[in-house]
Structure formats: structure tokens, C-alpha cells
Structure 1
């Protein structure tokens, strides 16, 4: 008997332990805090009130918010390059203060504007830094306290379900997780899954269905009996949502592991609006042409400097080209600034390592800042690539990856991109395991494509470049 009728939409997942709008709340808190700090600094310094409609005020607020975003300060419970959020906020504030001072000096605004000439902006930024750090410490404490209220019941305990459970327990972000295996014979061994709270089998579903749950997760393809279906239906009618495991991955971690997917799930799942026949594909192409043209004009001076640096650093050509697989698996030639020594692949195609000796001194910086990808703007103008999409892979690697990764070819239903969801969400990968993880993000992008998702990827790419996360 099918459970499809009772499965909840992933877009409606609401759990006590998950504050989905935390970023928006922090953004509103920062905006409010900036205006308050400007008022305090102006009152302490001159005893005057702030003109909230002053364009300079809004420019300063926008500059500070952009600095916080680029420092990834809207993910308060994460650590980046060994730096927690308070450290990144301090770095952001120092950077904004230096940039603000430079703009004030170069524009000459310090001569005739009260906020600038009397030393208001920088003291207010110092006060705001304390505000921003305190706000995030409180936010993290609040989210963690709410997480303890959540109780999840997972049905099924195969390998993918156990992997999900361990991932959830490692993050410790959604409270308690209880597992019911399909039968006593499939109950995971306690010795190999110490933290997995397996409380029985589906034969005990009735007693567990009477308890209060935040959600029920169907982790494996299960043939439920008529009685079990009735028990699940009663849970749903009591307001307890029921989800497939891929929907949980999609909503919580913004990826779709291909090992969890099935033809039936893909056939009935919403999304995939970027595939052929949809207006989105034509609109995306229009945006690509306009954006690529503008980028080429503004980045041309930088590209000339890069070409000169490559020529002076090592012998060989400035550009490097490779065959890559594109839309529908068709090969095309992609162009990059050369970042390796000449004849670097005389032993054949191979993934680049973290400390690859084939990379030149200039090439290491080009990869770190991802400048080596800039010539691919030409591929975008030619229609072979998009600015944003799954990264194109080499045919030699694709042959191997198709054999071991299910649904790998789905990524070629859209044009490859210079940057993409996988590139901003996952560090550089150089193995089959990394390719599997990147495909999970690519599948999420293809299924959930929108103009706003592309815009988010563009901003995240800027942050990745400034933080030097490339290779």
C-alpha cells in the first residue's frame, strides 16, 4: 500500500529545533542595532538626534551588512578557517572601518558632513561590534535550547538511514532521534552504532505512534501493512508530519544524495524547472549574456594583469584548454588561465591535490581566488556554459563517476557553470567521494532552480573568493 498520499511537502517542514528564519532575524537585528548605535554615538558626541533619512546613514548601514555577509556572520553556529563568528565579526568591522576611512578621505566628505567630520561613524561601528557579537551568542543559545524540544521517529534502518542518523547526531541540531527498524532481523548492531537510538521494529509501531512527535521520517522503501498505514494516517491526522528521507536532506542541508533517490520519487517530485521546454532556461540564457558582457568589460584589466603575471612566472602559454562534458553530455573546450607548469599532465588526467607540485606560484593564487576560471566567460558568451550551474567534468573522470554514482548524468540536463551551488557549499573535491557529495548539491540546484537561488550563489561566490576557499 502506498504512503504517497500521506507524505508532507518538504517546503512545509517546521520543527521546534530548527529556526529557518534565523538569518532574517539576525539581519533585522543588525539593521536595528546599527541605527541605535549611530543614535548613541551621535548623542554622546554632539548631543544631537540622528536623521534617519540621510543617504550617508543608509550607505554606511549597507556597507556594514555587506561586510557581515562576506564574513559569513549569518551562520552563528559554524566555524570557518578556524574562526568562530565573534572573530569573523571583528575582522569584518576592522575591514569596514578601513574602507570607510579611505572613502571618507578620498571623497573629502570629512570637511562638510556632521557624521563624518566629527568622528561618529567609527565609534558607532565599535559599539555595533559588541551588539552583533552579543546578538549571535544569544541566537545560538536560543536555537540550541529549542532543539531539545524536538523528537523525531525514523522508520527503517538500512545503511543510508544510519548515515543520516549519524549525521544528525553529529550536528546535534534537532533534538532526539528514535529509530524503528523494519524487523528485529534488520535492527542495527548496537556495537557498530553506539549513538543510534534503535528502540525496536515496525511491529511496535502502534505503541510508538501514540506518543507525541515533531515528525516521522520514512527512511527506506517500506511495504507497510494495512494496519500500519492506518496508524500512520492517524498520526498525520493528529498533526504529525511524515516525510521521505530525501525531503529531509533537501530541506535541512540543501542537498539531495543520489543514493537515496528513486525513479518514483523523481517522477512525482516538484521542481526541475530548468530542464528543456521551460521558460526559465531562456530567461537564464538572457541573464547570462547581459551579465557575461558586463563582467568581461569590468574584469578585462584584471585579466591583462593576470596574463602578464603568468608569462613572467613560468614558461608556456597564458591560457590552458581542456575538453569537458556539457549540456546532454556533449563535449566542448573550456578555457582557463594556466595555473600549472607546462606538460603537467604528461602522465594523463588526474585530480589536483591540495599541495600539488604541478601548480605554479602564480597559479596557486589564481586557484585560491578562482581567477583562473575567468576566461570561461567566453564559453558563456558562446552558449556552451552558464555563469551558474554544475561544474563541467572531464570525460576521463565522467566515465568512472557514472559507473559508481547513481543519477550522475542528471547534472547534464542543464548547462554547466563557472560557479555553482556545489562550489559555494562544499570545499574543493578530488576523489569519487567528493564527486558524490558535490552531485548531491548539484541535484538540489537542478531541482530547486530559481533566479533568487542564482543570485544567492553569486553572492556566496564573492564571499568564497574573498575568503580564499578555492584551489
Structure 2
């Protein structure tokens, strides 16, 4: 899987019937739209075509595309903080435009004086919004036409169906159960279109399906295997549930996995002894040195703001679980009041009253994590990896969540796959979801995945989606 696949995946679970090329098509549509709008603005304001190479023009195009990416406008199928894609598109364009004109305020340039860029901005806003409205309509039609055949109706199938419904999937989900299975209860069937058992498989394989999903560990007869082979040879994908989650939703729920799956599944190239782990450490050291140089002024300002805001030390340290379960001390900028844990260790809430005024902004923009650069230099952490948890919580989570300890087969990170794809949460249910993303990262690690996480982290910071 390449960088395009990872970047085009949304922050939340992906609608399974939407092509991964949609964000790329929208991106290319934006480039074409910007070019056409600039041509029209040049003709309208200057009465001439675009001539030669102008760095300000290319800067305008680049900043517009960056603004649209940071506003997450390339996924027309979902909302963020209640904002649909057209609203986010306008916000991204206006923010980029404000930044562009702020940069050019000190430059006496024809593109600014004659209103070329301003005209282009207005015309492109209409283009970008209309493009996304058409894309959203197309996505809706695709999901309405989705047809899924599920084999098996156990607890895993029920959870999978709930995930589909949370995505507002409006297609049809047909369920067949093994002949020996008892018919599911009425409450389990509320969201499932139960039509019979595997004896009816020969009838249903003749229809057109978006995919066939094997929801339980089923022993198929030779005849049933041949029937499934006919479906596969017609170009219809067949997924076991772990493969479906991994391929389309970029996570691996631990309750679906078994020792046998781990033994035979490909991947896991970030284990000790692999060249990728040594390369990852080398890249960490290079990037950390660069970040220290770039971020030093910002960190000095943060130190001053913390000192002025509330009494107490600037830095805060906590014991966390690291590689192979070895504890280490992680460092952060203090974002809570000095006596925040006088009542003992507890998970932080989304609107935690213990957080200071400055600390709330530090958490929102994830600036409080910057001192962990020191942990990366010491080799205790990586820039990218599963977030380290506190030992007090680890003890509970290991008992409650299968395969939880696998997240410590790699170094913990300042940012990670779970942090950029899963919203803030502090419960055992949230830990289940975060582990699903951590397991995906460990199994599918590549330099492309790390690059995608880096890009998504930048967007999370700019959108203020930290915790």
C-alpha cells in the first residue's frame, strides 16, 4: 500500500464502497479549477493571459491546496465538528486567502494591486464548493447501491453491522447463517436482513454484490467452497472480518484475532532485528535535531506562558510503559494545575477542570508533547508509534483487552496512527479502538505509513483536534 492510500483514508472509519481515488480526483479537480480561475482572472483584470513564471502565482496555488487539505475537504462523505464539506471548503479557502494576503501585504505586486488573486479566490470558491457537492451526491448514490452478503451472524457480525450503521450506510446487508446455528434473536436482527442459512447460498451467489463478508469462523463444505470460488472469479471480493477491517478501515480489532492469525498473517516488519527498525531510529535522530532547531523559539514562548499562567514547574513527568513493557519517564509541558493528581491517578476528561488556561491550548495544539523530543533522543520513544500508557491503566487494560500487550513490541511514539484517526477518548471502550489502530500500524508499518501519519498530525494540529 502506498502513501496515496493512507493519506486518502479519512480520520474516522471509511465508507467501504467509496473508491480510494476519490480524494485524488478532487485534488486534481482543484488544480484544474485553480488554473482556469487564474486564467479568467488574468483576462478579466489585466486583459491578458498568464505570462512566464511568477513565484507568487505558484505560492498562491500551493497555499490554497494546503488550506483545503488541512480543512479535510477531500472526504465529501462526512462531517467534522458538525461541518459538512462545503462549509469546511469555504473555511479552508478563506483561511488560506487571509494568510496569502497577509504575506503579500508588504509586497507591491501587480497580482495584489489589480485584484487578480482576489478575483481568482472568489471564482475558485464557487468551483471548489460545487465540485464537492457533486462528489457528495455521487458518494451517496454509491452507498445507496451497496449490497453486502454476510455469512454468519454471531457477536462479531452484530458489531460489524453497528459499524456500518454508524456510517449511515444505506445499502442492503443480507445475512446467511450456518445450518447448525440457531436463528438469531429478534433484537440481534433489528439491523440485519436475515434471509436463511447456507443451503440457500447457491441462490444468492447469482446476484451482484459489493462484497461477501465471512463473519465467523465457519467450516465450509466442498460444495460451498466451490460456490464461493464462483463469486470470487466474477470479481466480487470475499473478506474475512479481520481482512475487511484491515483493508478498508485501516484497523485490526483485537476481539476478531486469534493466535493462528498472528502465526500466518504477513507483515510485522517492525520487529527487532529488521532493517526497518534501525532505519526508523536513524530517521528519528535526524528529524529530532531538525525539530529542536526549528521549534526552540516556540518552546521558549511556551515556557514563559506557563510561568505567567499558573504557579508550579514548567515541565511535568510521568511514568509510562515503553518497549517490551519497560517503564520510563516521559516529559511534557505542564498543562494541569500543580495539585492535579491529589486524588490519585485518573484518566483525563475532554473538558478536564484540572487543565489550566494555557494548558488547554497546549493540549488542543499538542504542543504539550514537544518535550518528548528528549525521550526520542534517549531512545525511549520514536516520533511515530503507539502512545505510551500509564502502568496503572495498563494493568487494567491487559486484563480487559485481548492482545493488548502487543502494542509494546515497538517503541511508543509522540504521535501515531490511533492519534490521527481516532477522536479523543478515555475509557476501556476507547482503548479497544485505539489498540485496533495500533495493531494495524505494527502489522503494516512502512515509511509511507509514517509519512501519512506525519501529514495527518499536521492537519490535526491546525484543526485543533488534540486533546
TM-score w.r.t. the length of structure 1 is: 0.92
CA RMSD, aligned part only? 1.8
- Asked if the contact 2:17–2:210 (Cα under 8 Å) also holds between the matched residues in 1, the reply is no
Counterparts in 2 of 1:263 and 1:341: CA distance versus 1, 3 Å: same
Match of 1:428 in 2: 424
Inter-partner Cα distance in structure 1 for 2:51 and 2:74: 28
Report the more deviating stretch, 343-352 or 129-138. 343-352
After superposition, the Cα gap between the structure-2 partners of 1:41 and 1:265, relative to the gap in structure 1 and judged at 3 Å, is: same
| Cα-to-partner distance string for 1:336-361 (whole Å, 9 max, x where unaligned) | 11111113212221101122222122
Q: Distance in 2 between matches of 1:174 and 1:267?
A: 37
Aligned to 1:49: 49
* SS of equivalent residue, structure 2 residue 328: strand
Q: Structure 2 vs 1, CA of residues 47 and 426 (structure 1 numbering), >3 Å: closer, same or farther?
A: same
Structure 2 residue aligned with 1:193, among 189, 192, 217? Answer: 189
Query: Structure 1 residue 225: deviation in Å?
Result: 2.1
CA distance in structure 1 between the aligned counterparts of 2:435 and 2:52, rounded to whole angstroms? 47
Q: What is the distance in 2 between the residues matched to 1:357 and 1:250?
A: 37
Who is 1:403 aligned against? 399
- Measure how far apart 1:98 and its partner are: 1.4
Secondary structure, aligned partner of 1:365 = helix
- What is the Cα deviation at residue 16 of structure 1? 9.3
> Does the 8 A contact of 1:271 with 1:448 survive in 2?
yes
1:87 aligns with 2:87: yes
Specify the SS of the correspondent of 1:186: coil
Quick one: distance in 2 between partners of 1:251 and 1:88? Answer: 28
Query: How does 1:432-443 map onto structure 2 within 5 Å?
Result: 432-443=428-439
* Contact 2:385/2:411, CA 8 A, preserved across alignment: yes
Superposition deviation, residue 122 in structure 1: 1.7
Q: Tell me by how many angstroms 1:75 deviates.
A: 1.2
Which of 433, 443, 458 is residue 447 of structure 1 equivalent to?
A: 443
Residue of structure 2 equivalent to 1:12: none
- Partner residue in 1 for 2:116: 120
What are structure 1's unaligned runs of at least 5 residues?
1-14
Moved more, 268-277 or 289-298: 268-277
Q: 2:238: which partner in 1?
A: 242
Instruction: Measure the CA separation in 2 of the matches of 1:326 and 1:246.
Output: 27
Query: Residue 456 of structure 2 corresponds to which residue in structure 1?
Result: 460
Q: How many residues align?
A: 453
- 3-state SS in 2 of match to 1:180: strand
Q: 1:286-305 counterparts in 2 under 5 A?
A: 286-305=282-301
Deviations, residues 9-30 of structure 1 (Å, cap 9, x unaligned): xxxxxx9932211010000000
**Offset, 1:268:** 2.2
Query: Contact conserved, 2:319 with 2:327, CA < 8 A, in 1?
Result: yes
In the TM superposition, 1:288-437 aligns within 5 A as: 288-437=284-433
- The CA deviation at 1:184 is 6.4
Inter-CA distance 16–346: structure 2 relative to 1 (3 Å threshold): closer
**Change in CA separation of 1:49 and 1:168 when aligned onto 2, cut-off 3 Å:** same
